Structure 1
């Protein structure tokens, strides 16, 4: 008689749970992008994911929690893209420039700018939108500015990060909505350079 391995069985169950969760999130993301949060119903999501309604509520309390999970995953993907692009860079200014481009490229994944920059504030509120931003790109931007501008005070770093973060988000939306990528990226890099030059005491 073959005795099943408990460890392997548990891993298989965990893998199945993770697969079901991923199916739900993938299906929900596609529908949220195509139709918007309000016009997407849970029956459509479970049908697209090819799972039962019970499976959805096993993993998520409801549509709002599923939406939040989808957006957290998107924000984390942006953070990973920035980290990967800047991992081996030791010059703080160069890391900021490269990270800026990495952010804009990551945000240009179809549907991502809409989800994170338009839908999150509308569905979850501006507080939740701020938490997602602070948890990923904004925190990385602030850290980069602090390293690139060691003589700047915390208040100046915070203010500069807030202003640049808004500019980055507007740039990402413009590109996602059909604006010329090269033009917008170059403009954003110019703003970043001037902000660094001004804060370092050498305004252009």
Structure 2
């Protein structure tokens, strides 16, 4: 019997949720596709049909994590009407979300290793850096930050700093303290551009 589009989408979402939990708990290298197939009560053929292979499945999970973090950043940023505060709120939201247990391994550790730097950077740009760049451009146009030689350079430098800070936070035994220290540092850096 042929499945409806809704049923197919529900199956895909269920597989992604199961896979996300497995990849979070065990890491990509330690998850057998057979475990996911068994837990989802599906056949390997269904997984291959929708995701091609384990790496394709991981890519779908990685994209889901990126979307979730992006939503959290937007929610936190919009808690203020002030464009500068939105930037700071968004930076904090990224550090908090990216370093959470359910995200850190997939996003920061396995993501670059499994997908390769080119795919990782493309996904990072699509789900995080483009929004950051747009906001920095808006700050520039509104005269909130001083003219810079390149918004692209500023975006890449901030993004790289936040990715590295999120890794450091994830390894910390005192996440709240490390998040605050990272935000204090980021804010000091950003204040250098503020008009």
TM, length-normalised to structure 2: 0.86
In the alignment, which residue of structure 2 is the partner of 1:136?
Answer: 127
1:104-131 deviation line (CA, Å, top 9, x unaligned): 2222332311111111111111011111
Of 91, 114, 119 in structure 2, the residue corresponding to residue 123 of structure 1 is: 114
Q: Provide the rounded CA distance (Å) in 2 between the counterparts of 1:16 and 1:154.
A: 51
Partners in 2 of 1:87 and 1:135 — Cα distance? 20
> 1:140, CA displacement in angstroms?
2.2
Q: 1:176 aligns with which of 166, 170, 177?
A: 170
2:55 is matched with 64
Structure 1: state its 5+ residue gaps: 1-9
Q: Which has the larger radius of gyration?
A: 1
* C-alpha contact (below 8 Å) 1:20/1:51 kept by paired residues: no
- Distance verdict in 2 for CA 1:138–1:179, change over 3 Å: farther
Q: Does 1:153 align with 2:148?
A: yes
The one of 180, 186, 192 aligned to 2:186: 192
The answer to which structure, 1 or 2, has the higher relative contact order (CA under 8 A, 6+ apart) is 2
What displacement does 1:81 show? 0.9
Task: Report the Cα distance in structure 1 between the residues aligned to 2:176 and 2:167, rounded to whole angstroms.
Answer: 14
Once the two structures are superposed, what CA deviation does each residue of 1:19-49 show, in whole Å capped at 9, x if it has no partner?
A: 2111211221222222222232221110121
1:154 Cα offset (Å): 5.1
Cα deviations across residues 61-109 of structure 1 (Å, max 9, x unaligned)?
1111111000001001111111122235332210011111211222233
